[in-house]
Copies of this chain bind each other. A is one copy, B any other.
Amino acid sequence: MTEIKTRDRILDATADLLRRKGYNGTGLKEIVKASEAPLGSIYHHFPGGKEELGAEAIRIAGRTYNALIQAFFESATDPALTTQAFFDGAAEVLRVTDYEDACPIATVALEVASTSEPMRAASGDVFESWITDLCADFEALGMDPSKTVDVAIELLMLIEGAFLLCRAWKDTTPMEIAGRAAVEAVRAALDRVSGCAGSR
């Protein structure tokens, strides 16, 4: 009973710290302090140590952010307008949080890509789950199923690249450029008639 709560507190605190300080920048002591749990509990609930805890925290963070994405796209009516709103929202969050609150797993994903196979796999799974759900949304909105994957991936690459540049520059201009490009990509994929809107 209390077990589940302690475990969840540890996971939540870890997910939050990983987003803000990355994997190598987050110590177990810090996690222990933030979650108000004893150090021993971490190794009780996550026998694999920091790596196992980190991998699971990434998946938690991934589900949380997926819920945000779905809040925009799941019940959307106008895909282009929704895409614009999503990128506008991301820019607003960056400004409000002084460019701290961006993608919850991007920093960690890059850190562990070549150093921890379980964590790389976890980050890969999270990105894949975002794409899968986005594809379902796009298809429900009338997009040709053969085009959804490419559009969803392009959208994700644009926002991740924008997060990186916006944070490095402390400026949301890249997010605005990314938003316009994403809207164009969504519009182009929705046009039933290829005609002159195509790729020339």
Contacts and interface: CB of A to CB of B under 8 A. Distances in A.
Contact of A114 (B165, B167, B184): B167
A157 B167 CA distance: 12
A95 interface: no
Interface residues on A, range: 35 or more
A4 interface: no
Given A158-B161, A160-B160, A197-B200, A168 B124 contact: yes
A54 interface: no
Contacts of A162: 157
Contacts of A21: 115
A-side binding surface: helix, strand, loop or mixed? helix
Interface string A144-167: 000000100110111111101101
A79 interface: no
A168 B24 contact: no
Interface stretch (A28-36, A44-52, A67-75, A104-112): A104-112
B109 A168 contact: yes
Given A100-B113, A153-B173, 10 more contacts: A107-B110, A109-B168, A114-B167, A128-B169, A154-B178, A157-B157, A158-B161, A159-B161, A160-B161, A184-B199
